[in-house]
Amino acid sequence: MRAVVFEEFGVLPRVREVDDPVPGPDGVVVAVEATGLCRSDWHAWQGHDTHVVLPHVAGHELAGRVVAVGAGVRRWRAGDRVTVPFVCACGSCPQCASGNQQVCDRQFQPGATHWGSFADLVALDHADVNLVALPDSLDSVTAAALGCRFGTAYRAVLRQGAVRAGQWVAVHGCGGAGMSAIMLAVAAGARVVAIDLAPDALALAEKLGAAAVIDAAGTADVAAAVRALTGGGAHLSLDCVGHPAVCASSVASLRKRGRHVQVGLMPPAQGVPPIPMHLVIANELQLLGTHGLQAHEYPALLRLVEESEMDLGRLVGARIGLTDVPAALARMNDPVPARAGVTVIEL
């Protein structure tokens, strides 16, 4: 099969032929029809993810069809259209038993701990625990946004963030996760302030329902601007970038008893965020993390999308082919993307 192979960190990968994968006893092989290009893939390429061992194939936001099934798989058969969370679970550890597969003690992540979906085929273990059936109404390109960014935003906004109608939500960073968070917060009846450096991203945020936008490049104190716009601060603020300064600004954006949720990855090499702990104490703020979404939550996510008539296709920006992935990864070295929306690779 064809795959985009990382052979050295930070060095442009290449598309080459590699051996086809085979399913494990409890796993499947999926023919990839579409897969998202995520900031996490860039982190893997740069060597920021300690789980990645070279040579490596990234990619974790996938949609496709099952083509081979292990002998122990009971719920799936060849031809089924599926996706998976970016955090896949073992199904038997204490975290899985409590329903918290997103922090499974023996988790595996396609594109990080294992080879991923920047390839014609991808092998996925523990299929009965992790695979999610895709409805016919959801095309593969749109479904490719669910596995990481939209699913992560769903948990960040509705579960960890516990947003309620009428509340103010500040979304710092309008990439794929940030745009997903905007759509979900608006669907929940919240009012959103979107913050980004890129004019195109801010324009798309407004189209998706943001009540206000802040140009971070031209604003000296983003947190103060959020507090002014929201009449005292956001009830919920999300760092969807993963940067120490953005994290600190998100916390400082909150009103009393507000909630900060860290969505964007923050590699140790970037440094420790200067969290304003005096505000955390004085205002009784909550600081929360979020780590993907359990497979058993996907039916509720899909119901919300259908019932709210949310158009996930609006999240999709560029559509590229597998051979375009190396150049697309290189463009992610620029902190301001050339185009708003999620880049999806079609196979």
- How high does pLDDT run on average in the chain? 93
More confidently predicted of 195 and 51: 195
Q: Do domains 2-144+311-346 and 150-289 have the same CATH topology?
A: no
Give the pLDDT confidence score for residue 32 in this predicted structure. 98
Report domain extents, the chain: 2-144+311-346, 150-289
What is the share, in percent, of the chain residues with pLDDT greater than 70? 98
Q: Worst-scoring range by mean pLDDT, 198-202, 278-282, 312-316?
A: 312-316
Q: Which residue has the tokens 């204490």?
A: 94
d(CA 18, CA 233): 52
Please say if the pLDDT value at position 339 is more than 70: no
Tokens of 71: 């002998």
Neighbours of 347 (CB within 10 A): 18
Q: Mean pLDDT check: name the lowest of 134-148, 208-222, 241-255.
A: 134-148
At 333 the pLDDT is 85
The pLDDT score that the predictor gives to residue 336 is 66
Confidence of residue 280 (pLDDT cuts 50, 70, 90): very high
CB-based contacts of 33, cutoff 8 Å, min separation 6: 63, 64, 65, 140, 346, 347
Q: What CA–CA distance (Å, rounded) separates 252 from 188?
A: 24
3-state secondary structure (DSSP) of residue 287: strand
Can you name the CATH fold of 150-289?
A: Rossmann fold (3.40.50)
235 Cα distance to chain centroid: 22
pLDDT at 314: 82
Residue 335 has pLDDT above 80, yes or no: no
Per-residue burial over 60-73, b = 16 or more CB atoms within 10 Å of its CB, e = otherwise? bbbbbebbbbbeeb
pLDDT digits (tens, 9 = 90+) for 169-190: 999 999 889 999 999 999 999 9
Instruction: Flag whether pLDDT at 334 surpasses 90.
Output: no
- pLDDT bin (cut points 50, 70, 90) of residue 338 is low
Q: Residues 336, 197: contact at Cβ < 8 Å? A: yes
Q: Express as a percent the part of the chain with pLDDT over 90.
A: 81
| Residue 240 reports pLDDT greater than 70 | yes
Q: DSSP letter at 330?
A: H
> What pairs with residue 31 in β-bridges?
65, 121
What single-letter amino acid sits at 231?
Answer: G
User: Is it the case that residue 337 has pLDDT exceeding 70?
Assistant: no
Global model pTM greater than 0.85: yes
Res 140 pLDDT > 90? yes
CATH class of 2-144+311-346: alpha beta
Q: What is the pLDDT at residue 311?
A: 84
